[in-house]
Structures are given as C-alpha cells and as structure tokens.
Amino acid sequence: MTDNLRTSTDIRPGSYLIDTDRSRVEFTATHVFGLKPVQGTMAVRSGTVMVAAEPRRSTVSAELDAATFTTDDPRRDRDVRGKRFLHAADFPAIGFRSTRLERSGSGWQVIGVLSVRGGSAEVVLDLTEATATADGYRFAATTTVDRVAAGVGGGRAIIGRLVQIRLTVTATAG
C-alpha cells in the first residue's frame, strides 16, 4: 500500500482500531455567493482499518459524530446540527464504508459509501499519507463531497454543494 504514497514504512497486514482521540475530520464549505469559506471540524466516533496482504482487499469503516459539527459560529453550528441540515438528533452518526481500494496516478484511493441522515453517496478518498506510529499508523486523506447527493439538501441558496474534507486518522493495532 505504499507505492507513490508519502510513507515511512510498509503497512503490516492486520486489523486496526481508529483512535478517536487522535483522529480528526476537517472540512471547508463555501457560500454560494463566494463569500468567506467556512471551516470546521467533526469528531470521529469509531472505526476500523483492515489491511490485507493484498492491498486492494483492505477495508475501512468509520462513523463521525454529527453532534460535534463545529465552526467559528455557535449559531450556525446549532442550525447545521438541526433538522434542516444534519438532523443530528435523529441521525447521530455519519458513516463511511469502503467498497474498494484502487491505485491511482498519485497513490491509492479508498472508494466507499458515505451515509448522511438516511441518504448515501459514493465518495473517493485520496490517501495522501500512511506513516507508522509507535502503536499503529497515521493516515491522511482528502475528498470532495457533494453534500446534496449525500442527503444534506438544506440551504441550497446559501451554501455551495461541494464540501472539501481532510481526514487525519490514527489507527492502532486491535
């Protein structure tokens, strides 16, 4: 899993648990009118990384905590966590489940299904880093999500459809 990918070591096959305290999801959304981008974070609830001897057979699954959506504006955060957007009270988890891994020109891509408030959409994570830590590995990836296709249709006249996402995940031997 290391070809064309910034890594310090080969990744050993095995099962790894995502360390929620050392993992984070950052996002950037833009206003429809091109105003200042909105940046924020969301916590990872749980997840696993299963590295297979044949990298293409590896799998990833994770859940994010919708109630932890946070930006620099508490009022906006409450609105986004509410019924109009994430509806965190009824849909507390945002899920990702990989369906396949593929080599790309720049390394590896993790393709999977993102599930948000009852909807789902395919997303492609571009794996940008896989580095050994004392107790596992640190992975970094980026993707662009069409929030409307993923089930978050509110605010179409205010917020752009595409959300840039950066993930930093630490997975420890399980």
* CATH number of the domain within which 97 lies: 2.40.128.110
The pLDDT of residue 145 is 93
Residue 48 domain boundaries: 6-173
- State the pTM of this model: 0.88
pLDDT at 3 exceeding the cut of 50: no
Most confident by average pLDDT, 2-6, 30-34, 154-158: 30-34
Residue 41 lies in a domain: yes
Tokens matching residue 148: 């409307």
Residue 1 lies in a domain: no
Q: Domains in the chain: how many in total? A: 1
- Spatial neighbors of 75 by CB under 8 A, at least 6 apart, are none
Residue 147 lies in a domain: yes
Residue 103 lies in a domain: yes
pLDDT single digits (tens) 7-25 = 444 788 999 999 999 999 9
CB 81 within 8 A of CB 117: no
Q: What percent of the chain has pLDDT over 90?
A: 68
